[in-house]
Structures are given as C-alpha cells and as structure tokens.
A = this chain, B = another copy of it.
C-alpha cells in the first residue's frame, strides 16, 4: 500500500500542511526538508495525482486528438508535441479518432472527462463544433494543421495555398503544362487549399495550361485507385502532384504495378516524409512541412495559455512549406 502524507507525518512529526507545502515548492527550513526527504525516501512515497487533481482542479496533462495514428504526419506531430510537453512537466493523453467524426466527438468528451488542462488537435470535423465542449469546460484548445470554420481558437498551420503553388511552379519551370492533382476530400482545409494553390499557379503562370483535379479518399488506397485511373485513361498528362503522404504512397504503388516509370513516363511531386523520398529510386521531389517547428509552437502556445503567460486574442501562426528536390520531375 502506497505511503501518504500521514505516514510522513508519523515519521517526522510534521503537520500535513507543512508536508504539502514542501511538495509544492514552498519554503520550509532545511532541517524540515531533510526530514521529509528522508521519510519520503524510506517510505518510497509518491504523491497521489488523483487526490491532488481532485483538490487543485488541475491535472497537469494535455489531450492530443488526431485523426489517424497511421498517418506519418499526424504521428510525427504527436510525438514532437508530447516530447515538448513532457519536458515542461505535462503529460499527454493521446487519442486518435480513426477519421470518424462521431469518434472524434466521443474522444473529445473522453479527454475532457480525464480533466486534461488543455487540448491540441488536428480537427477532423472542419466546423469544429465538437470543440464547443472544451470551451464550455474552460479547456483551451490549439489547432494544428487545419482551421475550423465555426470555432475560433489558436492555430498553427502551414501556408497550404503556397505549398500547392510551389509544386505547380516547380512543374511549370520545367516545361509542364498538362497536370493533375490527386487531392484528398475538398472538405478538408489543407487539401482544398493545396489544390487551389496548385490550380491557381497553372492558370496564372502558364498559358494554355490544363489541370485535372481528382478528389479521393484520404488514404493509400485512394491514391492508388486515382493514380491507376489517371495512368490508364489520363492520356496527355505529364505530371502529377500528390498533396499528402498517403496519397503519394498509393500513387507510387500504382505506378509500380502498371510499370509506369517516373520521371520518364510521368513526373511526380509528393508531400511530407523525407524518408520515403530517399528509399525510393529515383528519389522523390516533395513538398515538406516543418513538423518539428509546428509541434513546438503549438505546444508552447498551449502552455502559454495554460500558465496565463499569454492572454492575447486568438492567434494563428502560419509557417512556410519548402520544396525538396529529388529526381522525379522531368525537364520537358
């Protein structure tokens, strides 16, 4: 049975309040501290987080809620956020909602029940209505990657429009004018922005351009099917942009299967995940997000809110993406 303050009291003769004060960083005199330390050591004392939380109303934990833990981007964000938060004394409760809105709602309610002090989330439901519950409970929320339309709160994003534009310009500069983008669901903020940027650049910077937009499920399978369709019937397309990691994976798989080679037969730009880019041969040209920075900023922003170091208005931090050159785009 775990030791409690009472046991320490028994060994030291001190009162509960003095002991509590010590464990909360208050001033006690050296000999008191030594006595408590010795007793705690001897008893293998560890503070009871439930009792503390019950009394103080804070859990020193934050909830991380993301769509899918098998998405490389989401997992990376989650890890970095967790690492940073832990350094600052907070623990993380991680939930994934399997890309299902009703699970997302449940998960949020679960986190609130667990008394998390704050929430960092990549929202699935783009309205963000599920987040109202957090607000009702006074739990601050920081959005990552996507903004919500009906719920205003702090957010850390990349400039997705520019990311799409970048990919388009990379193609245009190398002589391409007939392009396709295999986009995820247009209801997803990042996807529609990247598509918009891609199409805009071709329209604006390349006369006589033709951009096909395929909209698929947000998965490897989706990318795979769309690429197959495109390669079989896509006739005169010379280049394809895959604006997320899973779609990229699916598209490459389809090309392998159909023995279509890049960059010879068709040019390709992928998204995220440097490692994939390098194991592939030829290597892939990709648009990359500064994941570590995104995570760090989100965590910092949340902590600042929790600790009242920042009580400014809702703020959105926008970071740039960058393009990393591989060998998957032909010069026409």
Which residue numbers of A lie inside 8 Å of B, CB to CB? 2, 44, 46-51, 53-54, 59, 69-70, 75-76, 78-79, 82-83, 91-94, 96, 98, 109-110, 112-115, 136-137, 220, 249, 252-253, 255-256, 275-276, 278-281, 283
Contact = CB atoms under 8 A, between A and B. Distances in A.
Contacts of A53: 50
B50 A54 contact: yes
Given A279-B252, A280-B279, A94 B92 contact: yes
A49 B116 CA distance: 11
Most chain-B Cβ atoms within 10 A of its Cβ — which of A44, A51, A279? A279
Contacts of A93: 91, 93
27 contacts: A2-B137, A44-B136, A46-B109, A46-B112, A46-B113, A49-B113, A49-B114, A50-B53, A50-B59, A50-B115, A51-B54, A69-B82, A70-B76, A75-B75, A82-B94, A82-B96, A83-B98, A91-B114, A92-B94, A93-B93, A94-B94, A220-B275, A252-B279, A253-B278, A253-B279, A256-B279, A279-B280
A283 B280 CA distance: 11
A54 B48 contact: yes
A44 B133 CA distance: 10
Given A50-B54, A110-B91, A256 B275 contact: no
Nearest to A109: B46
Copies of this chain present: 2
A137 B46 CA distance: 11
A296 to B, nearest CB: 16
Contacts of A46: 109, 112-113
B279 A249 contact: yes
Given A69-B79, A82-B94, A256-B283, 13 more contacts: A47-B113, A48-B115, A49-B114, A50-B51, A50-B59, A54-B54, A69-B75, A70-B79, A91-B93, A92-B94, A253-B278, A256-B280, A280-B280
A222 to B, nearest CB: 14
A48 B78 CA distance: 26
A282 to B, nearest CB: 8
Given A50-B53, A50-B115, A91-B110, A279 B281 contact: no
A83 B70 CA distance: 12
Contacts of A279: 249, 252-253, 256, 276, 280
A113 B49 CA distance: 7
Contact of A281 (B2, B48, B75, B256): B256
A92 B63 CA distance: 12
Contacts of A94: 82, 92, 94
Interchain residue pairs A-B with the least CB separation, the first 8 = A50-B54, A50-B53, A256-B281, A69-B79, A50-B50, A252-B279, A253-B278, A253-B279
